[in-house]
């Protein structure tokens, strides 16, 4: 089995047939509809082949790679056929062709120095429509090139949504013309006292366009009513008094960062102490401005309204707030997403999607809150923190990451879970997809992102894309196939964690080289 991740839905290899040879005469044949995919293919194959493939619309000849799209095919599906006289990738649509190209790149990377690919037929389609990652740019800010690079990395694994956590207690990261004071007064700091930053409207448009070219949808989040201390720096009149509960002080004592103080930037790790005034109409006028401008900047269907860890908000007030916030978003023509706590609200906009972030064994009523979204006729996104939170340590001695989600998360932990087994009463048809969040309290550089995400983000990609069953959908197969991607990732400059759990192929690089990569991007 070649080093393919995620594993395709169906693959038939004919070991007796002649293989395809990647000779110096290979060309990319692409009609206009496939031209964008051809350019991405040529760029991805150049470092592997040592040359740039010619792209042409001329009739194919023996030994060419032919890229095409069906007019009305299955969304995101593709067929890839390798024969001795050529390769053909047919996408059900443009996204399907793009994903077929990613599989082709992995086949070429695995072809060895002889550059021969075995005769094979792959028929592939995703399990879940939503296959996401989240990057927290509020605790630590990352500039546009880092975001674009992360988009490239996740798209190569057939992940198709990037959720940007744009606001939190530590900073506000998006320029809005309606409220320029937010970035002027609340964007300059990050967690641990580091420098901050923000995306201009042009920056955000650049991110959206870069993502769209790779069939990735941007999902922006403005977290509320808690995680809002940064808003207080610009609009103290919208904020309740800080709630210094025991849980807040426990985090302050464990991690430092100082006690949250009104009117001062917060750079610690504590959560749940801030709250918007949920009974004040000025709060909803503010949200209408923010969501309205954000909706106009975001072509994708989703706006995330947060709703997590509102420890300083009265439960009844929290319910009213989430009901109103989701309706503001729905009235803008967008689908609201909220963290699972919002399921306690009872009267959310019916199309609100719930994002479950509890453990694989739900506790404290989290499962019931998640089921609320399904009962309303909507769906859930699963992000069980103990297996899919990329910011968790790999093991207890790692310098990066945290351990609050039931301790460290090994690569095997990240792979050996099943979405339909997390919340009782939530089955395959109730799940929109899965998302792997990367919170950045301890993540400060582009190199840190690579280290924490890879290889565990590949687990998320396979769980989201590949069928649950099948002989190769196993940890034993995965650890070998991911290990086979090591040389490709190394060539691509991905500073991945060289986990001892993985059977890394020769040419995968070493930890010292990986740890140094990416510093210049901060």
Known catalytic residues are 309
Rounded to a whole number of angstroms, the distance between the first and last alpha carbons of the chain is: 38
H or E stretch covering 498: none
Specify whether the CB–CB gap between 303 and 294 falls below 8 A: yes
Separation in Å, CA 87 to CA 49, 68, 123, 221, 250: 16, 11, 14, 41, 59
Query: How many other CB atoms are found less than 10 A from the CB of residue 9?
Result: 16
CA distance 469 to 67: 29
Sign of the dihedral through C-alpha 349, 353, 358, 364 = positive
Separation in Å, CA 297 to CA 290, 336, 347: 11, 15, 27
CA distance 450 to 497: 8
The closest of 25, 14, 34, 160 to 89, measured between CA atoms, is: 34
DSSP E strand boundaries for 203-279: 217-224
Structure tokens at 294: 């954000």
The closest of 380, 384, 505 to 455, measured between CA atoms, is: 505
């Amino acid at each position: 089995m070649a080093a393919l991740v995620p594993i395709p839905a169906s693959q038939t290899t004919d070991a007796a047939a002649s293989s395809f040879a990647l000779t110096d005469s290979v060309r990319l044949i692409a009609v206009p509809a496939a031209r964008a995919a051809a350019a991405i293919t040529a760029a991805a194959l150049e470092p592997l082949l040592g040359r740039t493939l010619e792209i042409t619309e001329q009739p194919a000849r023996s030994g060419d790679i032919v890229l095409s799209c069906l007019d009305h095919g299955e969304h995101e599906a593709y067929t890839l056929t390798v024969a001795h006289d050529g390769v053909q990738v047919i996408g059900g649509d443009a996204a399907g062709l793009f994903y077929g190209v990613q599989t082709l790149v992995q086949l070429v990377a695995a072809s060895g120095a002889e550059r021969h690919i075995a005769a094979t037929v792959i028929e592939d389609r995703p399990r879940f429509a939503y296959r996401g990652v989240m990057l927290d740019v509020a605790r630590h800010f990352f500039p546009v090139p880092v975001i674009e690079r992360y988009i490239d990395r996740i798209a190569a694994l057939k992940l198709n949504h990037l959720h940007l956590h744009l606001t939190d207690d530590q900073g506000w990261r998006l320029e809005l013309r309606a409220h320029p004071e937010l970035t002027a007064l609340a964007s300059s700091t990050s967690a641990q006292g580091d420098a901050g930053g923000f995306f201009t409207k042009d920056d955000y448009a650049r991110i959206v366009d870069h993502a769209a070219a790779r069939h990735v949808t941007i999902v922006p989040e403005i977290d509320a009513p808690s995680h809002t201390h940064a808003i207080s720096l610009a609009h103290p009149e919208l904020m309740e008094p800080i709630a210094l509960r025991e849980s807040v002080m426990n985090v302050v004592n464990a991690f430092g960062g100082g006690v949250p103080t009104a009117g001062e930037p917060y750079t610690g790790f504590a959560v749940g102490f801030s709250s918007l005034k949920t009974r004040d109409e000025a709060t909803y006028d503010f949200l209408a401005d923010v969501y309205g401008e954000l909706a106009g900047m975001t072509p994708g269907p989703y706006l995330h309204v947060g709703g997590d860890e509102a420890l300083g908000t009265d439960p009844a007030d929290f319910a009213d707030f989430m009901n109103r916030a989701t309706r503001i978003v729905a009235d803008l023509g967008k689908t609201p997403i909220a963290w699972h706590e919002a399921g306690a609200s009872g009267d959310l906009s019916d199309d609100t999607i719930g994002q479950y972030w509890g453990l694989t064994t739900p506790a404290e009523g989290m499962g019931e809150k998640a089921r609320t979204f399904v009962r309303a006729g909507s769906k859930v996104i699963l992000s069980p923190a103990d297996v899919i939170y990329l910011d968790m340590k790999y093991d207890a001695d790692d310098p990066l990451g945290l351990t609050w989600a039931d301790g460290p998360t090994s690569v095997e932990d990240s792979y050996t879970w099943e979405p339909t087994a997390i919340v009782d009463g939530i089955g395959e048809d109730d799940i929109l997809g899965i998302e792997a969040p990367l919170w950045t309290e301890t993540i400060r550089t582009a190199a840190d992102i690579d280290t924490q995400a890879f290889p565990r983000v590949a687990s998320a990609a396979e769980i989201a894309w590949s069928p649950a069953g099948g002989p190769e959908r196993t940890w034993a197969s995965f650890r070998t196939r991911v290990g086979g991607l090591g040389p490709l990732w190394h060539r691509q400059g991905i500073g991945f964690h060289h986990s001892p759990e993985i059977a890394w192929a020769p040419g995968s690089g070493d930890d010292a080289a990986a740890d140094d990569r990416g510093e210049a991007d901060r």
